[in-house]
Structure 1
Amino acid sequence: MLIYWVKIPNGLLSTEIQDRLDLLDAEERATYSRYKVDFKKIEFLVGRCLAKMALGQFLHVQPGNISFSKNEYGKLFLKNSPKPLYFNLSHTDEMVVCALSANDEMGIDVEKTLDDRFEVMKHVYVPDEIEWVNAQRDKNAKLHAFYKLWTRKEAVMKAVGKGFSLPPLSFTIPFDEERAHDDEFYFYTFVPMTGYMITVVTRLLSEQSQTYVVREVQLAELLAGRVEFISLF
């Protein structure tokens, strides 16, 4: 399992990266144009660049020739791939992440972890999960626990391909360890840098434990096409 993350510099304007619009197909350009907020345009374009450049390198295809289909809930899939290859994207304030695997369907979520959103817990967490968050020793630990649950819930919803059409109160997740599993999924949660948390979830297909390789990608190198992605094959 490969996990790549990109930190977007504060204050970056979409006009500074619009040369990379060449990687988008007509539908993606239309989506890009519909965003009214500049940082949403940036996150969308950086996400597509990251996914297409990584997948293109693995498949020996030009990134601009990589195309996606999506299911009824909006989850992206690689179209016309000659090899089994799975990926998932996520973004939050000034960070974009992408997970890739040759073996397992997965979901990934990234969240900025500075805001106190404890008031939503009763809408997304079951009683045992709420009790665990509230039992933490101080506010920082409580925030960490809150976002561990949040990223794991959302990653599961993305792994099954339903997003929030799968109600977060309809399932529970393990929450103590950074690496964990239940009867269906492996969970890996980590902090790539202060103020952010990432969780990747893969289906539990065997008793063999997952191996995770995490790499930061510099935005300038990504946009210039100079990133050497690790081979999955």
Structure 2
Amino acid sequence: MVKVGTKMFIYWVKTPSGLTSRQLQDRLDLLDFEERVTYANYKVDFKKIEFWVGRCLAKMALGHLLNVQPSDISFTKNEYGKLFLENQSEPPYFNISHTNEMVVCAVSADSEMGIDVEKTLVAPFEVMDHVYVSEEIDWVNAQRDMNAKLHAFYMVWTRKEAVMKAVGKGFSLPPLSFTIPFDEEQVRDHELHYYTFEPMTGYMISIATRLLSEQSQTYEVREVQVAELLY
């Protein structure tokens, strides 16, 4: 059987540490009314910035894919909070994630996915009993040194979050109810294709993509500057 290939576009933004919401004030028009209300309700600056960058990054990425202006794109969400294009729960698909000073977005014309990004300099190993199954814990603890252990911890963590987002249920899907393949940068199981990489030192991104059995998956990764979103 000839495999049908699909392509995933992954965009990531490292926000400058000195960026403030005041610098975004003139471009709040990039958000719709509901998004501006959400933005205004955040009490701390970094949350405002993460929200603005995430929505604008997703609109830019989808605009490229659909050949429309980012300002023409609006979102809705399901009962678990997962975003979809307004009036459209089918392709194209996208997903957003953010952590300390980094925002990521994955976009695909034909494959539903979940994406997660985490900062990996330290890890709360004490939570593993609550979110990792025994095989996952054993693999993390078997690593040869702390750097390898951190990498293993976040390989499992980011892939689990990516799965929960790919199925559209977030943490309403208990993380102890499933396991993920680990140790390989790209791998697939009976339902999902996984890709994990480090866009820069101290951060890890994982994507879980729902594929048909005959599909193969390729990825195109691009760094985006905040200045590009301000256009």
Q: TM-score range by the shorter chain?
A: over 0.9
**Cα deviations across residues 1-48 of structure 1 (Å, max 9, x unaligned)?**
000000001121111122221011111111111111110100000011
Structure 2 match to 1:193: 200
Of 47, 51, 67 in structure 2, the residue corresponding to residue 44 of structure 1 is: 51
Structure 1 match to 2:36: 29
**Cα deviations across residues 88-132 of structure 1 (Å, max 9, x unaligned)?**
000000000000001111000000001221011001000010000
Of 10, 35, 38 in structure 2, the residue corresponding to residue 3 of structure 1 is: 10
Per the normalisation by structure 2, the TM-score is: 0.93
Alignment partner of 1:119 is 2:126:
yes
- Percent identity of the aligned residues? 77
Which amino acid counterpart does residue 157 of structure 2 have in structure 1?
W
User: How far apart are 1:148 and its partner, in Å?
Assistant: 0.5
Structure 2 match to 1:231: none
Structure 1 match to 2:22: 15
User: How far apart are 1:176 and its partner, in Å?
Assistant: 1.6
**Cα deviations across residues 189-208 of structure 1 (Å, max 9, x unaligned)?**
00000000000110131233
Q: Any residues of structure 2 matched to 1:189-228 within 5 Å, and which?
A: 189-224=196-231
Structure 1 match to 2:5: none
Runs of 5+ consecutive residues of structure 1 not aligned to the other structure: 225-233
Structure 2 match to 1:107: 114
Query: Secondary structure of the equivalent of 1:206?
Result: coil
- Confirm or deny: 8 A CA contact 1:183 1:204 kept in the other structure: no
Q: How many residues are matched?
A: 224
User: How far apart are 1:223 and its partner, in Å?
Assistant: 1.6
User: How far apart are 1:63 and its partner, in Å?
Assistant: 1.5
Per the normalisation by structure 1, the TM-score is: 0.93
Q: Which has the higher strand share?
A: 2
Structure 2 match to 1:166: 173
When the two chains are superposed, the root-mean-square deviation of aligned CA atoms in Å is: 1.4
Runs of 5+ consecutive residues of structure 2 not aligned to the other structure: 1-7
